[in-house]
């Protein structure tokens, strides 16, 4: 029985994290990029200005009086779930398997993924509704049910896909968003500082419980403090290594492009196979890191106090940019400039100082080479912050999936179970359940991408409306929601100058 389950999971994992998914994700990203006329490039100055450039605007960072959260809080909650161990372990693993060329393909999928993320977030705001507690509820399940489901003959299809997305999300939240993250914390603290896993488990249960059981407002309040600190902290460490190895910049970038297009055979192996591995690993790890196309971060962004769907879409672009183009690139340079990867052949060393090198410890080894024990401790702390914040972000995703499936009253039960599961993650080793959770995480993308493709005309209309009003100065009625009551409320707020 166990062998049968394992084989089925391997088959499904091969679909959702293999070439079929890579091709679908790339197609949707390219499709949305073309349909929005390369918005991420043609309006790069505008979306930078409206995201990180507006960080001190009261509508962006100010705490809201209602049950919504600020735009900066929604960004931090979404980044909390995306900027995680994938930025460290995932990037290192991609390079070890796919060589330096994997970094190029990671950049490429992120470039097109920006517009997938943009489209998801536009739809998330456009189709969101308030629940009985006054909180915004949005995400792929809502635009599948109310958007796709409103198409002629698609009511049942939209509801089925919405339910499937929610089920996949709810189950994945316990694995990829909880136990695997907490296990990486306990494992690192045990390896570097000798802290028993059960001690870590108890502390994490307490900390997670204090935050998660307080609801979205408390999660957002914590993540807006953790996320900027952890990202800046990790960036500083990576930038120091960049400066120490600045003479390697040229060689690193040459190796990335050579590896991406097999201008030199990797490790004496077959050239075509080397390119295949670079593309597969780069794109797979890139999506795993920034989650563009999975529909997960939309659930956090839909809770924002933003009025303009296009504006939240631009925050989606920035999320992918910050996660992959900045954080993952810094990790890649640290690894490639360390000497642990042969830049001529693209082959990584298998051991260093008698310790086997894996994706899990490669970055820690690089930092220890430059900073000694302090470097290893630095990475352990970074992983701890990244993983804990990911757990907090995913607790909200699972909560929203639970709300959609079973109603708001059951979400408290879910949150208690979610908190308790963190202890299991701290003390348990890897098992089949985690592999299944990883598969379920990937399966979220299938219904989500169907929704994005079918509803792409809505994204185009909303984008054109925004550009006409904000950039071309046309006097046209704002297009802000699918629902007349919310449309009227949001339009009045926009006329008052709210963002």
Per DSSP, the residues of 314-375 read HHHHHHHIIIIIIIIHHHHHHHHTTTSB-TTT-PBPSEETTEE--TTTHHHHHHHHHHTHHH
The answer to whether 307 touches 346, Cβ cutoff 8 Å, is no
* CA separation for the pair 240, 215 (Å, rounded): 38
Share of the chain above pLDDT 70, in %: 80
* CA separation for the pair 385, 473 (Å, rounded): 44
Residue 115's domain comprises 2-495
Burial of 23 per CB tally in 10 Å (0-12, 13-18, 19+): exposed
The answer to whether 407 touches 259, Cβ cutoff 8 Å, is no
Q: Kindly report the CATH number assigned to the domain that includes residue 380.
A: 1.20.1740
Listed residue (108, 76, 106) closest to 91, CA to CA: 106
pLDDT band at 127 (very low <50, low <70, confident <90, very high): very high
∠ CA 102-300-69, nearest 5°, is 135
Q: What is the pLDDT of residues 48-95, one digit of tens each?
A: 888 877 776 665 555 555 555 666 666 666 666 666 666 677 787 788
Q: Where are the alpha helices (DSSP H) in 51-154?
A: 58-61, 71-82, 89-98, 101-126, 140-146
Q: So what's the pLDDT on residue 443?
A: 82
pLDDT band at 115 (very low <50, low <70, confident <90, very high): very high
Q: Rounded to 10 degrees, what is the CA torsion of 332, 325, 245, 102?
A: 30
Q: What is the pLDDT of residues 208-265, one digit of tens each?
A: 887 777 766 667 677 767 777 777 888 888 889 888 989 888 898 888 888 887 654 4
Q: So what's the pLDDT on residue 144?
A: 95
Q: What is the pLDDT of residues 260-305, one digit of tens each?
A: 876 544 444 444 555 666 677 667 766 666 677 888 888 888 888 7
* CA separation for the pair 114, 290 (Å, rounded): 9
Instruction: Choose the weakest-confidence range: 138-152, 293-307, 418-432, 464-478.
Output: 418-432
Q: Higher confidence at residue 486 or residue 428?
A: 486
Longest dimension (CA), the chain: 69
204 contacts: CB under 8 Å, gap ≥ 6: 182, 185, 186, 388, 422, 423, 426
Q: So what's the pLDDT on residue 270?
A: 41
pLDDT(148) > 90: yes
Q: What is the pLDDT of residues 441-470, one digit of tens each?
A: 778 888 999 999 999 999 999 999 999 998
Q: Provide the domain count of the chain.
A: 1
Share of the chain above pLDDT 90, in %: 19
Listed residue (30, 34, 54) closest to 470, CA to CA: 54
Instruction: Choose the weakest-confidence range: 35-49, 145-159, 171-185, 481-495.
Output: 171-185
Counting Cα atoms < 13 Å in the Cβ hemisphere of 244 gives 18
Q: What is the pLDDT of residues 379-413, one digit of tens each?
A: 778 777 777 878 878 888 888 899 899 888 888 88
pLDDT band at 359 (very low <50, low <70, confident <90, very high): low
Q: So what's the pLDDT on residue 6?
A: 66
∠ CA 125-39-130, nearest 5°, is 0
Give the pTM.
0.87
Q: Higher confidence at residue 247 or residue 134?
A: 247
Q: So what's the pLDDT on residue 468?
A: 92
Q: Does the CA dihedral 217-222-226-228 come out positive or negative?
A: positive
* CA separation for the pair 213, 411 (Å, rounded): 10
């Amino acid at each position: 029985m166990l062998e049968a389950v394992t084989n089925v999971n391997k088959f499904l994992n091969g679909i959702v994290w293999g070439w079929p998914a890579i091709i679908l994700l790339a197609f949707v990203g390219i499709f949305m990029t073309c349909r929005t006329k390369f918005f991420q490039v043609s309006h790069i100055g505008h979306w930078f200005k409206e995201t990180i450039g507006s960080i001190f605007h009261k509508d962006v960072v100010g705490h809201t009086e209602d049950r919504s959260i600020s735009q900066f809080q929604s960004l931090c909650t979404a980044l909390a779930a995306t900027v995680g161990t994938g930025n460290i372990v995932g990037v290192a693993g991609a390079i070890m398997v796919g060589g330096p060329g994997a970094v190029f393909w990671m950049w490429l999928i992120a470039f097109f993924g920006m517009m997938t993320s943009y489209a998801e977030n536009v739809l998330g705001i456009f189709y969101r509704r308030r629940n009985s507690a006054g909180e915004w509820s949005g995400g792929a399940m809502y635009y599948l049910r109310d958007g796709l489901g409103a198409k002629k003959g698609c009511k049942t299809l939209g509801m089925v896909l919405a339910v499937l997305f929610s089920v996949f999300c709810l189950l994945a939240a316990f694995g990829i968003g909880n136990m695997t993250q907490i296990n990486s914390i306990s494992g690192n603290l045990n390896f570097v500082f000798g802290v028993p896993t059960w001690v870590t488990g108890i502390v994490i249960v307490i900390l997670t419980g204090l935050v998660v059981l307080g609801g979205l407002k408390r999660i957002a309040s914590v993540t807006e403090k953790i996320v900027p600190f952890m990202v800046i902290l990790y960036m500083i460490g990576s930038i120091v290594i960049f400066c120490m190895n600045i003479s390697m910049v040229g060689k690193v970038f040459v190796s990335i492009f050579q590896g991406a297009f097999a201008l030199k055979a990797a490790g004496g192996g077959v050239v075509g196979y080397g390119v295949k591995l670079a593309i597969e690993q780069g794109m797979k790890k890139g999506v795993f890191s920034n989650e563009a196309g999975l529909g997960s971060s939309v659930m956090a962004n839909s809770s924002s106090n933003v009025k303009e769907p296009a504006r939240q879409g631009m925050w989606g672009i920035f999320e992918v940019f910050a996660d992959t183009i900045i954080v993952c690139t810094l990790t890649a340079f640290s690894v490639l400039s360390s000497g642990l990867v042969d830049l001529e052949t693209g082959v990584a060393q298998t051991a260093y100082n008698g310790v086997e090198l894996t994706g899990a410890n490669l970055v820690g080894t690089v930092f220890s080479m430059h900073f000694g024990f302090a470097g290893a401790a630095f990475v352990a702390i970074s992983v701890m912050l990244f993983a804990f914040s990911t757990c907090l972000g995913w607790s909200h995703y699972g909560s929203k999936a639970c709300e959609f499936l079973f109603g708001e009253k059951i979400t408290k039960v879910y949150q208690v179970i979610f908190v308790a599961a963190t202890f299991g993650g701290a003390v348990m080793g890897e098992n089949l359940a985690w592999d299944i959770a990883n598969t379920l995480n990937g399966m979220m993308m299938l219904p989500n991408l169907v929704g994005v493709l079918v509803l792409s005309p809505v994204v185009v209309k909303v984008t054109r409306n925004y550009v006409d009003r904000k950039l071309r100065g046309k006097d046209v009625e704002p297009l802000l929601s699918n629902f007349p009551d919310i449309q009227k409320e949001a339009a009045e707020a926009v006329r008052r100058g709210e963002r």
